[in-house]
A and B are shown apart, each in its own frame.
Chain A
């Protein structure tokens, strides 16, 4: 047993090191002066400098893509959780014809490869003049984030005892009020998990953001970083600094709520 435990620890340590190393290199690189970056960059820069971060916000106005990403990912999350929870509640609780089919279709929608829908979506968005606008990103994001949210929440709502909302309705609450006053407070862990996953998904999305924006005014963080490269050189220091800036809030968010996320994702898997 002891031996096995030691082996397990070793394997886990190797896994953690392996997956954390690139992130560590990105942090180190973002603090390394430009000149040192290409001549055998040290594991950790001896004069750690903030030049790249400085340049990011003075020369490149990196706050603009951050703002865009916050607006787009935030709005997508908000819509997903509000509309998605109502939709999921109906699917979890109400009896109506074709429910299983509807759930299947919702799942199927999220299975399309993104690249397959980019062109038709582009034509559609152009015809309703939404290219290079926030709604022009939020609406397409909803098409892949909403199915995920609905499926997660259906599972979560199903495991809440139906007697609670029945009690609320006998007590005089309408179905919607019972949902708001009884179900939503109890489903908070599931709603939080869904919100975070949706946010991270939208925050990292690249293909739609690249295809449906035209200039820096509406570009999101991943697109902005990809477009850092000039004709003759790639400003690696700034790319790494931008990557750190873009990753840190998401990583902090996930770490802070990780227990809730795991709870929310595995809820209903086992009874009790």
Chain B
């Protein structure tokens, strides 16, 4: 059993920076939890406290039923993949893979067997006797992964493991990680600033901001029902449009329950373009970006384009040109309303 629990965890660094403000987070056994947020939101600090590389200033950390708050990393039975990979440069790939097992006093025959197995699974057989400096970026990444796998730990921790790879390799490795999680059924905690990575990999996603967890939930729920304005704009690409709800007075009567003065959120995918006058609002087309499978259109509300900017995603074959006035239709069931004071969802 390897569930993880952070209970009211605070972390203040000696320089006064507060990286965690009462983080409460429960991760179930076998779950793939992704911590996501902009840089400086405390997600890496949270991960490092699970690893034991940082000690919380206040609060407790549990792995399984065990209170590990004060336990050093070597006694926690975790494996971690670092952003820089942190391969030991003076050791061969074989020794890198074997290091963790050797430190734990595993018998040499068992070490050889497990290292061989992991190398085979990751396609590293041919480079076992090379040093990390002689490997490509993708190979280094796989060695870092292999070093975690051979350990067969209770918990895997990943600190932005894909950020040093090129786009193609990143997609491949992402799929590889998903397969790995299914095969090992181990608890995994994954830190990233990339919301797309978070949505595709996580069984659940925790969105963090300024040392606090804003929302935790399955990816689709976080996407469909963001709890705050911050989550709404951080998750999903292009970002959700935020407008004063009063703009839509025209159909206020038929809409969901809401108070005047709220902030309306609508995703670019939940707006559709139609002839001027036939939608809920008219808008002036500003820029059209073809993205292959779809069009991203930047518009300004109002017939003269003096209103706020709105982004819309439409099918790629739509006939639309800059400086034309078009109508916009809002998908009624997909509107979000937030309190502009607290940023919390009201609907």
Contact = CB atoms under 8 A, between A and B. Distances in A.
Contacts of B151: 171
Secondary structure at the B interface, as helix, strand, loop or mixed, is loop
Given A166-B53, A170-B74, A172-B74, A161 B103 contact: no
Interface residues of B, number: 26
A90 interface: no
A164 B90 CA distance: 11
A167 B103 contact: no
Contacts of B104: 172
Most buried by B among A161, A163, A175: A163
A169 B72 contact: yes
A196 interface: no
B244 interface: no
Interface string B100-126: 100110000000000000000000000
B134 interface: no
Contact of A166 (B76, B82, B87): B82
B80 interface: yes
Given A95-B14, A186-B90, A171 B84 contact: no
Interface string A117-159: 0000000000000000000000000000000000000000000
Contacts of B14: 95
Nearest to B14: A95
B86 A163 contact: yes
Given A163-B86, A164-B86, A169 B100 contact: no
Nearest to B48: A166
Contacts of B76: 170
A174 B86 contact: no
Contacts of B87: 167
A40 to B, nearest CB: 59
A188 B103 CA distance: 22
Contacts of B86: 161, 163-164, 166-167
Contacts of A175: 72
A171 B90 contact: no
B89 A167 contact: no
A171 to B, nearest CB: 4
B43 to A, nearest CB: 17
Contacts, number: 63
A167 B90 contact: no
Contact of B88 (A169, A177, A182): A182
Contact of A172 (B51, B83, B84, B100): B100
A104 interface: no
Given A95-B14, A163-B82, A177-B103, A170 B88 contact: no
B188 to A, nearest CB: 14
Interface in B1-20: 14
Q: Which 9 A-B pairs have the closest CB atoms?
A: A172-B103, A171-B100, A167-B86, A163-B86, A169-B73, A185-B90, A170-B80, A172-B104, A173-B103
29 contacts: A95-B14, A161-B84, A161-B86, A163-B84, A163-B86, A164-B86, A164-B89, A166-B51, A166-B73, A166-B80, A166-B86, A167-B82, A167-B86, A167-B147, A169-B53, A169-B72, A169-B74, A170-B74, A170-B76, A170-B80, A170-B157, A171-B100, A171-B147, A171-B151, A172-B103, A173-B74, A175-B72, A177-B103, A181-B99
Given A167-B80, A170-B53, A170-B80, 12 more contacts: A164-B86, A166-B82, A167-B88, A168-B103, A170-B73, A170-B76, A171-B99, A172-B74, A172-B100, A174-B72, A186-B89, A186-B90
Interface of B: 14, 51-53, 72-74, 76, 78-80, 82-84, 86-90, 99-100, 103-104, 147, 151, 157
